[in-house]
Amino acid sequence: MGERWQIRRYVASDFLSASIAWFAFNLCRYYQLVSYNELVPLGRFLTYRSVLTGQLCIPFFWLVIYYFSGYYNLPLNRSRITEIWLTFVSSVIGVTSIFFLLVIDEMPQSYRVYYDFLLEMFVLHFGMTYGARLYLTNRLLRLIKEGKIVRKVLFFGTGEQALSISGQLAKIGYQAIGFIRTSPDEPVKVAPALLLGDISDYDKHVLHDGIDELVVATEALQGSDLSLLLYQLFPYKRPIKVWVGKQASLFSKVKLNPHLGAPLADVTENNFSPCEQNIKLWTDKLISAGALILLSPLFAYIGWRVRKSSPGPVFYKQERIGLHGKPFLIYKFRTMYAEAETNGPMLSQESDQRVTPIGSILRKYRLDELPQFWNVLKGDMALVGPRPERKFYIDQIVKKAPYYYLLHNVRPGITSLGMVKYGYACNVNQMLERLYYDMLYYENMSLALDIAILLYTVKTVVTGKGI
C-alpha cells in the first residue's frame, strides 16, 4: 500500500464527506426555512439551482481547496496536529466561500438565520471530514506500527552510524533493504546478507522498484565528495535523507526531521510549505500561459529583429540542470552570433564581441529570457528561483561550495534574488558571489519574497538596471 493508494483513500473520503455534509446542511436549512413560514415542498427545495449546483459541484470544490492546502502532499508522514489544523483552516475558508457564493443570496424573513446557516455548515462539514480523516489516519498509523506498511530504505554507509540509524527508523515503519559501502576504508558493521556492494554499482540497487527512500549515513564521505554523491542520487527521484553528524555546517540550511527519531536532514525538500508549493506551481503556470498569449506580438517583433540582425535561429536552447538534478533545455532569444561557443562553454563578458547589437539590448532589459515562460509552463522552471547553470560550471562550483546542491531542491527561475541583486556572472568566482543571494533566497523562501523579486525584476526590465 503506497502513497498513491493512500492519497486515493483520502480523496475518496473527502469527496464523500463533502457530499454528505452538503446534503445534511440542506435538510437543516429546509426545516429552518419552514420554521420561518417559507413553506415549499422538500422536493422542490432540493431542486433549487443553488442547492442542486452545490450537490454536483461542491465536492470537487473541496478537493481543490484540500489540494492547495497541501493535505495530499505527504500522505504517509501524517501528523494528527497538522491534520486537524489543516482541516480546520480549509473548512473555514471553504465554508465562508460557499456561504457567500451560494447561500447568502436567499432572503429569509430574519437575517439571524444566516448565522445558523453558517455555523451549521461549518460544524457539519468539519465534523464529517475530520472524523473520516482521523479514522483513516489512525488506521494508517496502526498498520505502520504492525509492520504491514513499511518504507523500504537503501542505506549508503556500512558503519556504526548506518547501523544505529537503521535501528531507530525500524521502530517507525522503515525497513533497511540493504547497505552500500561508500569507501574501501569504511568499516562494515552490518550483517553480510544486507551488504549489497560498493559505491561503484549502487545504481542497480537504487533503481529497484521496491526502494522508497535513500539514507546516506557515513563518515567516509566529506564535503564535496558527499555533495557529488547527492548530485548522483538526485535524478533517481527518491527522498534522500542524510545523517548530519559532524558535518552540521553542510546542512545548516536544511530542515531536520526530528519526528523520525534520528538526526537526519531531508535534502530533497525545500523550505516552502506544501501549501505554498502547490500555490506557487499553479500560479506560475497560469501567469506563464497568460504571458505567452499577451506578449505574443512582442515575441513576434523580437523574433523578427533577431532574425534580421544576423544569420541563425531566433531561439537559442541549451542544456541546464534543474529540479533534483534533472537536465532540461532552456529557451532564450538568441543574443550572440551563431557558433559563438565552438571552443567550448564560455560565459559572456562585458562588451562581449560575440553579442549581436540587438542581443545587447535584449540582455540589458532581460528580454532574451521571455521564452522561458514556456519552460515554466512545461514544469521545468518557476517564475522565481535560483538561475539554472550548466553542469560544466556546477562541477566547478561544488568544489568550492558543496552546499550548492540544495538549490536543486527548488525549480530554477526565470528571475532570482541573485539576478536582481547581482546580475550576470562572468566567471565562476562571480557565480560564487551571486550564490550568496541564491542561498539567502533558499533560507527565506516565501510567496511574499517571490512577489518582491518579481517587482524588482519589473523595475530591471523597465529601467535596464539592477538594484
Q: Using one digit for the tens of pLDDT, what is the confidence trace for 332-391?
A: 999 888 776 666 566 666 666 788 888 888 888 889 999 999 999 999 999 999 999 998
Pairing of strands 174-181, 195-198: parallel
Q: Kindly report the average pLDDT of the chain as a whole number.
A: 84
The answer, yes or no, to whether residue 34 has pLDDT greater than 80, is no
**Position 233 pLDDT exceeds 90:** no
On the CB side of 213, CA atoms within 13 Å amount to 27
Which SS3 state, helix, strand or coil, does residue 175 take? strand
pLDDT over threshold 80, residue 168: yes
pLDDT of residue 234: 79
pLDDT digit string, tens, across residues 220-230: 777 777 877 88
Question: Is the model more confident about 278 or about 324?
Answer: 278
Cβ–Cβ < 8 Å for 277, 70: yes
Backbone angles phi, psi at 407, to 5 degrees: -65, -15
Nearest to 386 by CA among 371, 368, 364, 404: 404
Residue 279 pLDDT > 90, yes or no? yes
Residue 370: per-residue pLDDT: 93
Grade residue 2 by pLDDT with cuts at 50, 70 and 90. low
Question: Which band of pLDDT confidence, cut at 50, 70 and 90, is reported for residue 24?
Answer: very high
CB proximity list for 257: less than 8 A, separation 6 or greater? 241, 264, 265, 266
CA distances from 413 to 8, 11, 223, 323 (A): 32, 31, 27, 10
pLDDT of residue 258: 54
**Helix (H) and strand (E) counts in the chain:** 16, 10
- For 164, the grid coordinates are 544505529
Q: Which three cell numbers stand for residue 369?
A: 529570457
Q: Identify the CA nearest to 33 among candidates 104, 109, 124.
A: 109
Longest alpha-carbon distance in the chain: 87
The answer for residues whose C-beta is within 8 angstroms of residue 256's C-beta and 6 or more apart is 244, 263, 264, 265
Question: Does the pLDDT of residue 85 top 80, yes or no?
Answer: yes
Percent of the chain with pLDDT over 90: 34
Per-residue confidence (pLDDT) for residue 61, from 0 to 100: 95
Question: Distance of CA 277 to CAs 14, 61, 385, 410, Å?
Answer: 21, 19, 12, 10
Per-residue pLDDT, 415: 92
Q: Which residue has the cell 545587447?
A: 360
